[in-house]
Amino acid sequence: MVAKSKYFPGLKDEFLLEEVNPGEPREYILDILVDADALVALAKSDDQNHKRAFSISETLQKKGCIWYISPFTIGEVVTVISHKVNQASARKVLKELNRQDLNLLTLKDEFIHLADEWFSKQSKKGTSYFDCYNMALLERYNKQLNAIFSFDGVYKRNGFKTVEEIIK
């Protein structure tokens, strides 16, 4: 049995379920890019997407998944927790995220321009550069990544699949 994370009850250690049921193989493995808003929703029980995030996380674990983050995800998560909850909670979340040993995806220097290009294509006020970096990752690793775990509409608006679309 895989232990549940203390601060992210919807996630299992290392975000990868060893077996759905003893002796039964996983249905399939999904490679999922995780946006900061999904991790915040899992960490904050009063987040408007907490129950939804927990349910999605459980479904992903049953199907079998590997979670990936950008180099900015953890920093974005703990900053949001610090602002919306408090610094002590942000430190706990930071410690837990670091313990999870998440898989990091980055853009090589020759592809960093893709994030800038995605940002330049956006017209909506308040567009996050970090979301554009994620879109560049989704574009660059499109043969590996199945979807993004996020509640942010920018991904759908730009033609990327969210986990809710692929787990139904």
pLDDT along the chain (168 residues), means of 10: 42 37 59 96 94 93 90 96 95 92 91 97 96 97 95 96 92
Query: What does the CA dihedral 11, 13, 142, 134 come to, rounded to 10 degrees?
Result: 70
Domain that holds residue 69: 13-105+144-167
- What pLDDT, on the 0 to 100 scale, is given for residue 90? 95
Domain with residue 62: its CATH number is 3.40.50
Domain assignment present for residue 62? The answer is yes
Strand partners, 4: 12
What is the spatial distance between Cα 50 and Cα 57, in angstroms, rounded to a whole number?
A: 10
> Which positions ≥6 away from 129 have C-beta within 8 Å?
115, 119
Is residue 85 in some structural domain? yes
Which pair of tokens denotes residue 42?
A: 């899992």
Q: Is residue 121 part of a domain?
A: no
Flag whether 98 is in a domain.
Answer: yes
**pLDDT for residue 35:** 98
- Asked if residue 86 belongs to a domain, the reply is yes
Which two tokens mark 96?
Answer: 């837990």
pLDDT for position 168: 76
**Which residues, in sequence order, are CB contacts of 47 under 8 Å at separation 6+?**
40, 41, 53
Look at phi and psi of residue 27 and say left if phi exceeds 0, alpha if psi is from -120 to 50, else beta: alpha
pLDDT of res. 1 = 31
pLDDT of residue 104: 93
92 falls within a domain: yes
Asked if residue 110 belongs to a domain, the reply is no
Q: The pTM is what?
A: 0.84
Counted domains in the chain? 1
Residue 48 within any structural domain of the chain: yes
Residue 119: predicted pLDDT: 98
Question: What's the confidence (pLDDT) of residue 52?
Answer: 96
pLDDT number for residue 25: 55
